[in-house]
Amino acid sequence: MIKKQLLCCSAVLVLVLLSKLYSYQVAARVESKHPLPQDSLSQGASLQEDITGIRNTPYFASLNFADENLPLGDRQIERKMMRHLQEYSYAKRRSHLLHHKAVRALPRVAAILRQHGVPEDFKYIPLVESGFTSGTTSHRGASGYWQFMPSTARAFGLRVDLEVDERQDIEKSTVAAAKYLKALYREFNSWTLVAAAFNIGEGNLQRAINRQREDNYFRLKLNKETGSYVYKLISVKEIIENPTQHGYRKPGALIAETRTETSSPEGQHF
């Protein structure tokens, strides 16, 4: 009799444990549509371990820019994507300030892009180019939120002279950027190529396409900056839209880090 009671108790205990385990698994699946496996990118795992653990997952397959996906199955492209995701994880970037700027600026930029028929993913260009900070000027003369060269800015309706520089106006410069991006799309018929052309210039990109007889951005051989540009945009998009999956921790949990960031130069960008 005692043995039977022990067996019954053991069976009930096993069923309870299995039920709990199942409940936790279901909850984990509901929590995120495409969760990042074990938060591997923010835990410092090796690149090879990351690729092995993530390359065949729905999360990795979902990575895209303006609905143009990475060519899956190409190890070189996958490694490059993983490397940039690691580089732009919270563990590397401590991105509280840029998250704050994104919350304030991205909705305005996205609304203007939508009005002009440009994919919203292009709203991340100012984060990459200027960190949503006006007054930033490169050594080549590019300036403002979108880092327009003076000639390009004027060509798309911005006033740039000794008295006024409308590249520093977020709304006016975004309207000009939307017009420019639409013009580039009419030329290249690919949003990833549009992003590349925005960075390198349409003439330089077209020559690379003609020379290599290749019109897929991810397979083109471009200079280091332009060859990484779309990967950077995808990575920034990921850490802004899915921050906790990439190690982001709320400011209240890291007061000392937040103070350090807010005292950093306003021109900080990706």
Q: What is the pLDDT of residues 145-184, one digit of tens each?
A: 999 999 999 999 999 999 999 999 999 999 999 999 999 9
Q: Among residues 16, 85, 105, which one has the least CA distance to residue 232? A: 85
Residue type, 6: L
Decide: helix, strand or coil at residue 68. Answer: strand
Q: What is the pLDDT of residues 218-245, one digit of tens each?
A: 999 999 999 999 999 999 998 888 776 6
Q: Does the pLDDT value for residue 188 go beyond 90? A: yes
- Does the predicted model carry a pTM greater than 0.85? no
- pLDDT for 147 equals 94
Largest CA distance in the chain: 98
Which residues are bridge partners to 143 per DSSP? 137, 148
Between CA 23 and CA 19 the distance in angstroms is 6
- CATH number for 38-262 (one of 1.10.530.10, 1.10.1740.10, 2.60.40.10, 3.10.129.10): it is 1.10.530.10
Q: For the chain, which residues make up each domain, given as ranges?
A: 1-31, 38-262
- pLDDT for 97 equals 67
Between CA 246 and CA 43 the distance in angstroms is 9
Between CA 85 and CA 238 the distance in angstroms is 8
